[in-house]
Amino acid sequence: MGTIPDPERYGDGVFCPSDFDFDRLFRESCSGGACHGDDGAPAAELDLVSEGAINRMIHAPSTICEWMDLIVPGDPENSLLYLKLMEPPALCGEPMPPIGYLTVAEIRCFRDLIEGLAERDAGDEDGLDPEGPAEDDEGSGDARDARFGSDAGDVWAGGSSG
């Protein structure tokens, strides 16, 4: 078996597809039963499926671990929502989802999303860039929408952070 001459250059080999759909991930993995759907009483007061979910989680304190924010832009290791996806059990409560697990690629995509949010965290005082992102090559809008879903585009457009 061969070795990689420069492992730092290639990382761990897990990549997030450019068309990853966070809305689908949340809907399929987080909204069943008494979990985090938009049925009016989501677990831990955390609705992950209605429009604006990602925006609502940025710098929002957890209702279970009040000393932690759900998403800290650029810092997955201090973002409770990311930590809850990991195995062994996360810092506060049980790992999520409670039945089954996300794939390594799905977790990587969520990590990439959180890291990518730091790119605009130097904007105004609430961390939102009032100018938004640069347009994509065709000038037709936010290139991040295609990768992170329309919800992430709302963050770039200066949507509410909760």
Question: DSSP letters along 74-94, please?
Answer: T-GGGBHHHHHTSSS--SSSS
Contact (Cβ atoms closer than 8 angstroms) between residue 73 and residue 114? yes
Is 160 a domain residue? no
Closest CA to 26 of 56, 59, 69: 56
pLDDT at position 69 is 92
Is 79 a domain residue? yes
Closest CA to 149 of 52, 59, 78, 60: 52
Is 108 a domain residue? yes
86-95, 96-105, 130-139: least confidently modelled range: 130-139
Is 106 a domain residue? yes
Most confident of 27-36, 87-96, 134-143: 27-36
| Whole-angstrom distance, CA of residue 97 vs CA of residue 27 | 12
With a cut of 80, say whether residue 10 has pLDDT above it.
Answer: no
pLDDT at position 115 is 92
Domain that holds residue 146: 18-129+140-152
Q: Provide the 3-class DSSP secondary structure of residue 27.
A: helix
Contact (Cβ atoms closer than 8 angstroms) between residue 132 and residue 153? no
Is 161 a domain residue? no
Each residue's pLDDT tens digit, 63-81: 888 888 999 999 999 999 8
Is 162 a domain residue? no
pLDDT at position 120 is 62
Is 48 a domain residue? yes
CA angle in degrees (0–180, nearest 5) for 137-140-145: 90
With a cut of 60, say whether residue 87 has pLDDT above it.
Answer: no
Question: What's the domain count of the chain?
Answer: 1
Is 51 a domain residue? yes
Q: Could you please report the per-residue DSSP string of 92-155? A: SSS-SSSSS---HHHHHHHHHHHHHHGGGTTSSTTS--TT-PPP-TTSSS-HHHHHHHHHHHHH
Q: Is the dihedral of CA 114, 117, 122, 127 positive or negative?
A: negative
